[in-house]
């Protein structure tokens, strides 16, 4: 049964910058996970239902407009989870509304934790490396327009691969 995820991809040069940073920490999964902001966490979907999932994602995309995303500084989920992330300074509400709409119909999934948009930069590493990431990326700052989200399918060898793009409505003005 395929495992899918839905996310906002970071544009270049920031996607590669953060992925390279994650790689530099020795994170073995860095090359298997594109730099992203999760909207729908990994979810198993029976192959015959993938068409309905794509239709659902397309309909949801049509209900949302493009928005500005500003990433700045770092945060952590420790001690609950060994994760350091880049924080979302602008675009939180839009991400939350989009994620909420996506978690309906064929993608109605229970979340283990409340939805919190972020970009993971260190995960399941030692405390020293998590502390290092938290400090070294504290000044990280970028902004970009989010005009689409993406469907990813997990491959056991290649990791997460983007298969579909879902354009949002153009922003007014």
List the structure tokens of 7. Answer: 């996310």
The per-residue pLDDT for range 104-114, each reduced to its tens digit, is: 999 998 888 88
Alpha helices in 39-79 (DSSP H): 50-61
CATH of range 3-167; options 3.90.1140.10, 3.40.920.10, 1.20.1600.10, 3.40.50.2000: 3.90.1140.10
Per-residue pLDDT for 172 more than 80? no
Query: Which phi-psi region, left, alpha or beta, contains residue 105 (left: φ > 0; alpha: ψ -120 to 50)?
Result: left
Angle at 63 between CA 170 and CA 109, to 5 degrees: 130
For residue 38, give every residue at least 6 positions away whose Cβ sits within 8 Å of its Cβ, in sequence order, or none.
Answer: 5, 6, 7, 117
| Model pTM above 0.75 | yes
Winning range, highest mean pLDDT, from 26-30, 96-100, 113-117: 96-100
Q: Hey, where are the domains in the chain?
A: 3-167
């Amino acid at each position: 049964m395929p495992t899918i995820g839905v996310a906002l991809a970071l544009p270049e040069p920031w996607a590669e910058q953060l992925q390279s940073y994650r790689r530099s920490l020795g994170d073995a999964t860095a090359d298997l996970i594109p730099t992203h902001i999760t909207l729908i966490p990994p979810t198993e979907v029976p192959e015959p239902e993938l068409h309905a999932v794509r239709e659902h994602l397309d309909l949801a995309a049509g209900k949302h407009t493009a928005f500005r995303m500003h990433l700045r500084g770092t945060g952590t989920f420790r001690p609950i989870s060994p994760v350091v992330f880049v924080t979302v300074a602008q675009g939180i509400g839009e991400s939350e509304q989009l994620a909420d709409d996506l978690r309906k119909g064929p993608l109605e999934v229970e979340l283990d934790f409340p939805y919190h948009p972020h970009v993971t930069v260190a995960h399941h590493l030692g405390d020293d490396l998590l502390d290092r990431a938290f400090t070294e990326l504290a000044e990280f700052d970028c902004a970009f327009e989010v005009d689409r989200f993406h469907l990813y399918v997990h491959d056991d060898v290649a990791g997460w691969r983007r298969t579909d793009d879902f354009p949002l409505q153009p922003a007014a003005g």
